[in-house]
Chains A and B, each alone.
Chain A
Amino acid sequence: MSKYKAVIGLEMHCELKSNSKVFSSAKNSYDEVANVNVRPVDMAFPGTLPVVNKECIQKALKMSMVLNCKQPKYMYFDRKNYYYPDLPKGFQITQMHDPVGIDGHITIECNGYDKEVLIHDIHLEEDAASLDHYFDVSLIDYNRAGVPLLELVTEPCLNSAEEAVAFLETMRRIYQYCDVSEADTKKGQIRCDVNVSILAPDDKELGTKVEIKNINSFGNVYDAIVYEIKRQSELKNAGRYDEVMQETRRFDEESGTTIFMRSKVDAIDYKYFVEPNIPKYKIDENWLEEIRKTIPVLPRERKIKYINELGLSEYDATIIVKEKDYADYFEECINLGMDAKTAANWLTVQIIAYLSKHDIELKDFYLKPIYLKQIIDELGKGTISSKQAKEIFFKALEEEKEPKNFISKDNAQISDQKVIEDIINKILLDNSKQVAEYKNGKTNLFDYFVGQVMKETRGKANPVVTKEILKDKLDN
């Protein structure tokens, strides 16, 4: 690594989940077919007007609270004016003067240490249309035009690519936990801009800030930062730090490098002014309180609880809080009275493996905690073996039938000492010749007796109990 300290700020754009778009009644949903979720306002037909979607404001305020930001007294929006073919109105409705949140902070975990990340602001805005460029034409898909976007801006307070990605991962998870966004990078729902500068230990002032725009995966964020630190460090080492310009670059995935886009001198004047078609309105304190109540327990707090109160290992707890669905499933198991470690074990080993193998999500998984309980209970009672438990688990999933259907009396393991002892007594009587041979030292006949018990019980005798009793009878 470099001898310089990296100073990194992030802008994270995340598409919100909502029924309709942020200023339009068109459906907000990802669609393979172009231009199906479009209302006249999304294409800026003359005379159309924006109408604010309250659901989006509510979700934005929720995130503002999660990030410990200050909420504004009044809600209103601003226009950001510029021409681009993906921007039908010629301006984007956003928040510049009074965003839904300012001056926040959140603690994240990175490689085992805690780090407080300072939030400059978080604001609600609309997405642009998406463009597809071909050899001699470009196609515009307006499905995305007007989709709600939350833009989160950190202070330049991160110091490594690891911290930046840890922050993004944390935020992605929080968005999902709060049911504010699917936060799926594969669907392009998260895009990032990254600001990077470097600082020598004795530097008094911040270095020259370079912006890398529109990075669409966390892996690329990592690579872009690492590359950019290296590039700036090398220039500084070579005494050519003045070649680091305040500029906007883009990340080139193929080469893994950043490439010059435009200089800050050419920065666009967006001519921000208040959107006149959306009346400014006062945010009701009671409403804020209602929103606050909808904030779920976040992954960090859950993890601490799982380790400290429920005795899970750090490893298991980490896996379980990775997705809200996992954590919710786990907590439902606990509420049903299952043993925490057993439930955690089933979840982290069997269930997650099954989900991944079948490429399904936990919410579509047939064995709800109440069904899993049927298996775990029987296992606890010893009526079924762990091998049988696994068989029942898969059988229940395969046939989508409650596990109890496969724990019938016939199939049940025989663990009753008395029953097994009776069977063993009878077998020993019927095989007096072998008993004598065993007692004369032919101890490998032990498995023969076990086999006889299994034959008699059609494999249902509890093998542990069987072996215990046999050993007791033969050796004494």
Chain B
Amino acid sequence: MTELSIEKLHEMLKKGEVTSEELINEALRKSHEIQKTCNAFVTIMDDIKPGEVTDDLLSGIPYGIKDNYSTKDILSTGSSNTLKDYVPFFDATAVANLKKHGAVAVNKTALDEFGMGGTGTTAHTGIIRNPWDLKRMCAGSSSGSAAAVAAGVYPYALGSDTGDSIRKPAAFCGIVGYKPTYGMISRYGLFPFASSLDHCGVLTRNVKDAAIVVDAMKGIDKYDQTSWDSSNIHLYDSINGNVKGKKLFYIKEIVDVSNYPDASNELKKHLEIFNQTIEKLRNIGVSVEEISFDKELLNAIPSVYVCLSCAEATSNMSNLTGIIFGPRGHGDGVMDMIKDHRTKGFSPLIKRRFVIGSYILQKENQERYFVNAGRVRRLIVDKMKELFKEYDALILPVSTGVAPYIDGSKDELNSDNTAILEEHLQIGNFGGFPSITIPNGFIDNLPVGINITGNCYDDVNVLNLAFALESQMNYKNMIAGGHYE
């Protein structure tokens, strides 16, 4: 049952065809199965009570929470040893909002430590594996959430997205990943990575479910000054599939195969699928135009992202000292204790990012790296906003193809000239733009994704386009392992 959509499950619950208890038991049973194969969870809440079924679409339905959301009385580790025993005494606002809607959390999903990775290989509980092929990664950092939703454990799981941490795993796992406009969902209680880029969001198996969940998560919050009042926005109710006359654009410098002289067959196929999908959109009356974007700006995206995210992260995670929470370090004096806690607690990847962030913020380097990165960010966002005056949204393929293998050389495509294809989703974080990834077909029985990104506050438009496109394809409500081609 838990592989069904929220709408369907709600209907069945209301009719009494299934009970909340049955759904939760099934979700828990599947959690344990998936844990064995994918290692997707930090905590499975075996003793969770079923929820009351009301008229609320989410009531009584199980879901998963990424482990970087603060959950009251439930272990919340951020997949880091620095918080391996941390049990918060308050709920993140987004989680509290879902509780009010009667949603029932059944597990906490594993992630790249504090969201600072894109592979799902750096969680303190070990590597998270892709349910479509256990030898492959889910991408990250919402790896556990993506794996669990793709495996049909429940209809949705919460994610967070600083660079592409919802939208890339969604692509590699054949599901939907949506991060709404910055500030639509409060970040209070989300363990921060880079505050100006961090977004809350959700992973689902269809577009309407994403709208339903974000409707429940969102809202202005007195504990997050960057949140805004969206009470006049009703995402789910606004989805009507009416997209005739909408104008989309894609960026030539990213999707033209001639940009990649060493393109593998996989990449060629990936771009071919993208072009076929664009035709599908045109067939339903959506215009899709190719535009040219300053290549220099595009090439700067990954380094701008590294500069800004590492700098903010270094500062954001300075609260992890082991003094107030987390395992107390050892040493003579408090500074040595802090050093010991952090040396033992963080993975090498995070430490590397801290070193970069710290270097960038140093007085003598700030102007050259941090301030300039901020300027380039502004240039990119301004250019996007200019384009959004003319176009409803940007559409691009996600990544260079399917999920890479966990072991061995990642893949031969990972050369510098495809970096832009791997990293362009970060534009959505630079501008706080609403952005959604949906499945876009298969290469060798592995899913690939496509992304639609719109202007700030234009979430309804983005969801509508995604819904219309989803309706033109057969990849809705996919479960890993099924046969869809």
Q: Please report A residues at the B interface, Cβ cutoff 8 Å.
A: 40, 43-52, 79, 81, 83, 85, 88-91, 138, 140, 269, 271, 273, 276-279
Contact = CB atoms under 8 A, between A and B. Distances in A.
B447 to A, nearest CB: 32
10 contacts: A46-B70, A47-B88, A47-B187, A49-B187, A50-B225, A51-B224, A51-B225, A90-B321, A271-B358, A279-B225
A88 B319 contact: yes
Contact of A276 (B195, B319, B335): B195
A46 B362 CA distance: 25
Contact of A47 (B70, B312, B323): B70
Interface string B223-247: 1111000000000000000000000
A46 B334 contact: no
Contacts of B83: 46
A50 B192 CA distance: 13
A269 B366 CA distance: 11
Given A51-B223, A81-B315, A273-B315, A46 B86 contact: yes
B324 interface: yes
Contacts of B224: 49, 51, 277
Contact of A46 (B226, B319, B338): B319
A73 B338 CA distance: 40
Given A45-B325, A46-B83, A47-B191, A90 B315 contact: yes
B415 interface: no
Contacts of A271: 314-315, 358, 361-363, 366
B176 to A, nearest CB: 25
B234 to A, nearest CB: 25
B346 interface: no
Contacts of B125: none
Contact of B188 (A44, A48, A79): A48
Contacts of B318: 81, 83, 89-91
B86 to A, nearest CB: 7
B335 A49 contact: no
B361 A85 contact: no
Contacts of A51: 222-225
Q: Which of B191, B319, B361: most chain A CB closer than 10 A?
A: B319
B196 interface: yes
B190 interface: yes
A45 B358 CA distance: 22
Given A46-B83, A47-B192, A279-B225, 13 more contacts: A43-B324, A44-B319, A45-B70, A47-B189, A49-B223, A50-B225, A52-B225, A81-B361, A88-B319, A90-B315, A269-B363, A277-B195, A277-B225
Contact of B324 (A45, A81, A278): A45
Contacts of A90: 315, 317-319, 321
Contacts of B305: none
Nearest to A43: B324
A44 B86 CA distance: 13
Which 6 interchain pairs have the tightest Cβ spacing?
A90-B318, A271-B361, A44-B319, A276-B196, A47-B189, A276-B195
Nearest to B88: A45
Interface in B358-378: 358, 361-363, 366, 370
Contact of B361 (A44, A52, A273, A277): A273
Interface in B72-115: 76, 78, 83, 86, 88-90, 92
A191 B322 CA distance: 29
Contacts of A49: 187-188, 223-225
B145 to A, nearest CB: 17
Nearest to B76: A46
Main secondary structure of the interface of A (DSSP, over half): loop
Interface in B307-321: 311-312, 314-315, 317-321
Q: Which of A44, A88, A269, A277: most chain B CB closer than 10 A?
A: A277
A278 B370 contact: no
A46 B314 CA distance: 14
Given A46-B191, A277-B195, A88 B324 contact: yes
A101 to B, nearest CB: 23
A367 B18 CA distance: 76
A273 B86 contact: no
A88 B188 CA distance: 17
A117 B86 CA distance: 51
B92 A47 contact: yes
Contacts of B335: 83
Q: Which of A47, A90, A271: most chain B CB closer than 10 A?
A: A47
Given A49-B224, A51-B225, A138-B334, A83 B321 contact: yes
Contacts of B222: 51
Contacts of A277: 195, 224-226
Contacts of B317: 90
A171 B15 CA distance: 72
A278 B187 CA distance: 12
Nearest to B317: A90
A43 B89 CA distance: 13
Contacts of A79: 315
B363 to A, nearest CB: 5
Contacts of B320: 46
Interface in B325-359: 325, 334-335, 338, 358
A52 B224 CA distance: 10
Q: Which of B88, B89, B225: most chain A CB closer than 10 A?
A: B225
A278 B225 contact: yes
Nearest to B226: A279
Contact of A85 (B70, B192, B323): B323
A25 B221 CA distance: 13
B146 to A, nearest CB: 21
Contacts of B361: 81, 271, 273
Nearest to B191: A46
B225 A40 contact: no
Contacts of A44: 319, 324
A438 B334 CA distance: 94
Q: Which of A44, A46, A52: most chain B CB closer than 10 A?
A: A46
A269 B362 contact: yes
Contacts of A89: 318-319
Contact of B366 (A52, A85, A273, A278): A273
A52 B223 CA distance: 10
Contact of B312 (A43, A85, A276): A276
Contacts of B325: 45-46
Nearest to B70: A47
B79 to A, nearest CB: 12
A206 B380 CA distance: 47
A81 B78 CA distance: 22
A89 to B, nearest CB: 5
Contacts of A91: 315, 318
A88 B78 CA distance: 19
Contacts of A269: 362-363
A88 B320 CA distance: 9
A269 B370 CA distance: 15
Contacts of B187: 47, 49
Interface in B180-225: 187-192, 194-196, 222-225
B341 to A, nearest CB: 11
Contacts of B196: 276
A91 B318 CA distance: 7
Q: Which of A44, A51, A276, A279: most chain B CB closer than 10 A?
A: A276
Nearest to A90: B318
Interface string B440-484: 000000000000000000000000000000000000000000000
Contacts of B189: 47-48
A47 B226 contact: no
